[in-house]
Chain A
Amino acid sequence: MAKATAIAAGNAGTGRIVDTDRPLVDEKLVLCFFIASLSYVLIAMLAGLLFSLQFLQIYPFANSEFFSPGRWRFVHTQGVAYGFIANAFLGALHWAVPRLTGNRVLSDKLSWFILFAWQAIVLATVVGVLSGEAQALEWGETPVWIDPVAQLGLILVAINFLTPILKVKGPMYVTLWYLIAAFIWTPLVYAMGNFLPEYVIGGSAAGAIGGLFIHDLVGLFVTPIGWGLMYYFVPIILKKPIWSHGLSLVGFWGLAFFYPLNGIHHFLYSPIPMFLQYGAVISTIAVELVVTTVIVNFFGTLVGRGDALRTNLSIRWFYIGMVFYFTTCLQCAFQVTLTFQKVIHFTDWVVGHAHLVMFGVFGFWILGMMTHLLPRLMKARDWYCNRWNHWHFWLSGIGLFVMFIDLMIAGLIQGFAWRDLAPWEDSLTFSTPFWKLRTLTGIAIVVGQCFFLMNVYMTWKHMRGAASTTPMPTPTGGGEPAIA
């Protein structure tokens, strides 16, 4: 386990004597976060799949208020953002931060409290939105009476992780830059998005804030933690340092400067002042340039270890996620222009884009981390069945990619039909084949996750049954101290 030896390396230079009785990382906690995350991903994806049936006029629970399709759409997005992604990040952070800093999180008890409190918040959100109490804020539909609790939770998370990070003396690794920034941004973004447009500002100005919230939740919460963890896991698994420190700097500072300026691009051609819309468009295109430097950096790191794409499933998840990230951002640089917006705004194009970002990028990275960590966390020698993990990868990957292309084309067709003043019903008729394909890709993705969940369960059951006392061989690089 990661004990004093790891600490000595990770905490080089501090000369601190660390209590070696307790392990640096509470692996059970990490496991619990991952299990919670995987439970929500199943719920959230089934909710999405269920909702997609409405588009085919075959919704099975049409007369049930509780199963109202619109409410289950809330469950889909909220479950993914706060159940799947947030839980998985919390787990991965509990794994990475102590290793990178050599310090425990502020309090183990607080961590466990956060685990249960966060599940309570997400469950309350699900119950709240299902009983029709949603807040009219995209990605922030959490009922207003949960918002303050969630806000408090985020602040506690930030304090819990910032304490060990800020204790580090001397230079900090790239991951920690991203994490420091993320822990400041996330509570600020949440407060800005959930409270200002509800209680302080109304109208078009609130639209600007809503746009900032939609964007910052992805850009300032999910993105920095996601990239931070990539900077941690990729070099460790590949056993080589990041290609260019300079590019890491450019990537971080470019993101920090340009990303917060983007939000208004969600409401182009709206009554928000036009010069701000232009500003948002330009800074969005700037983000694409920054993203390119990060992608170049990571592919530079891969040079010479390309075989890992074949041999290591985690690396494959990570790098396909990066390809999708580049695709997303490239798409974004085009779709954000006023020319594209005329056609694609309000269409399924945007839905495809959102799926590519949230699942294709961050979901894939998370699943890669889980593929890497879960056997270790369960004290298993290896996965019960590696073939199932490959099924998981390919079903998710192909499902998502086809869904993305499908929705992109559907979006163009809808956009042009509307612009050409076709009767509204035509845009529905035209979209139906694409919606059918979308449901099929959704089924593929859900089946893929089932393979993974089954594998987790079987690995766990196998371990319990075997009650193995043989020491676990270290999988590739997983338990090594962080490069610092």
Chain B
Amino acid sequence: MFETRAGIFLIAGFGFFILAFIVMAWVPIAIYQGEPELSVKELAEQGLTHEFIDLAERYPKQFKEHYGDVSEESFAAALKLGHKIYVGEACWHCHSQQIRPVSNEGRRWGGESYAEEYQNEFQRPVLFGTRRVGPDLIREGGRKSNDWHIAHFYKPTSVVPVSVMPRYPWFFDSDGYPNKKGFAIITYVQWLGSWHKNYPYWYNRGPALPTKTPEPPPGFEPTVDDEKPKTGVAMSDAETNAGA
């Protein structure tokens, strides 16, 4: 058996592989098969994020151009494209989406990962990640403002001087406003973790469609600026400051 063709072909080749597959893959599949897996549409139906609505209000012209109205459909479309960018730009090679119950990770990022939150279409294939150059992102939504993300995607060192994250100028149009990709990736990143009932601290998903402007978080003082920004305020300022 140990040196024959049949033994190697059937036992080592197929046998051991199938055995390992049953033990190591089929068992978790069987364990989690009762968990419903949410589609993007179902995720969008859980309610829009404040940040998505904020993007639409802040950049009405550009938003209208790329995504039309604020709706579950446009939210789903933005999430979907955002996820594609997250995968295609290899964000997941430097950012994990998994908080372990050790090494104070729960304290740093708020709550350890659990099986249910991976039961959705965006976790095909799962985005646990194996390397953290930048921080974990599965609780990132709502942690930073849209402005922060816009500046950060355009030029990470403008907000985090030691950052080694690449620049993504192709998320912005020639005027410096976020383009379709920019809206998408910010929507996706700001959505991560928004399924938590009490996270981040003030976060509550609004009704499915906003009937009025969502409540700002307590203590948040919006800067009133009636004048429409002329050209890419956040980015060009950041550029100028960095250059100076």
Contacts and interface: CB of A to CB of B under 8 A. Distances in A.
Q: Do chains A and B interact in one complex? A: yes
Interface of A: 54-57, 59, 62-63, 65, 68-71, 73-74, 129, 132-138, 165-166, 168, 171-172, 177, 180-181, 184-185, 188-189, 192, 196-199, 201-210, 212, 214, 220, 249, 252-253, 256-257, 260-261, 263-264, 266-267, 269-273, 276, 279-280, 341-343, 345-347, 350-351, 415, 418-421, 424-425, 428-429
A87 to B, nearest CB: 24
B195 to A, nearest CB: 14
A393 B92 CA distance: 34
Contacts of A272: 28
Interface in B88-104: 88-94, 96, 98, 100-104
Given A264-B24, A350-B131, A419-B103, A203 B2 contact: no
B3 A177 contact: yes
Interface of B: 2-3, 5, 8-9, 11-14, 16-17, 19-21, 23-25, 27-29, 31-33, 35, 37, 84-85, 87-94, 96, 98, 100-105, 107-108, 113-115, 118-121, 123-135, 157, 160, 162-164, 166-170
A180 B5 contact: yes
A65 B114 contact: no
B92 A136 contact: yes
Q: Is the interface of A mostly helix, strand, loop or mixed?
A: helix
A275 to B, nearest CB: 9
B28 A202 contact: no
Given A212-B20, A346-B96, 7 more contacts: A132-B88, A197-B125, A202-B119, A210-B126, A260-B17, A273-B27, A347-B132
B5 A71 contact: no
A429 B162 contact: yes
Given A204-B118, A253-B12, A271-B114, A342 B103 contact: yes
Nearest to B164: A55
Given A177-B3, A342-B102, A197 B164 contact: no
Contacts of A351: 131
Contact of A280 (B13, B24, B94): B24
A424 B103 CA distance: 14
Contacts of A415: 103
Contact of A185 (B13, B19, B102): B13
A273 B28 contact: yes
Contacts of B163: 425, 428
A261 B120 contact: no
Contacts of A205: 25, 28-29, 31-33
A199 B125 CA distance: 9
B8 A177 contact: yes
Nearest to B171: A65
Most A CB atoms within 10 A — which of B96, B123, B130, B157? Answer: B130
A202 B123 contact: yes
24 contacts: A54-B164, A55-B164, A132-B88, A132-B89, A133-B88, A172-B5, A184-B13, A197-B126, A202-B37, A202-B119, A205-B29, A206-B124, A208-B25, A210-B126, A249-B2, A267-B128, A343-B103, A345-B100, A347-B131, A350-B130, A350-B131, A418-B132, A420-B104, A424-B135
A213 to B, nearest CB: 9
Contact of B167 (A63, A202, A266): A63
A181 B115 CA distance: 34
Contact of B104 (A192, A345, A347, A419): A419
B46 to A, nearest CB: 17
B32 to A, nearest CB: 5
A420 B24 CA distance: 33
Contacts of B167: 62-63
A325 to B, nearest CB: 20
B89 to A, nearest CB: 5
A209 B103 CA distance: 25
B118 A269 contact: no
A132 B23 CA distance: 35
A208 to B, nearest CB: 4
A203 B126 contact: yes
Contacts of A345: 100, 130
Contact of B123 (A203, A220, A420): A203
Nearest to B136: A346
Contacts of A420: 104
A469 to B, nearest CB: 44
Contacts of A210: 125-126, 128
| Interface pairs A-B: 6 shortest CB-CB | A70-B90, A260-B20, A132-B88, A184-B13, A197-B125, A256-B12
Given A57-B157, A166-B5, A421-B107, A204 B32 contact: yes
Most A CB atoms within 10 A — which of B11, B33, B103, B132? Answer: B103
Contacts of B103: 342-343, 415, 418-419
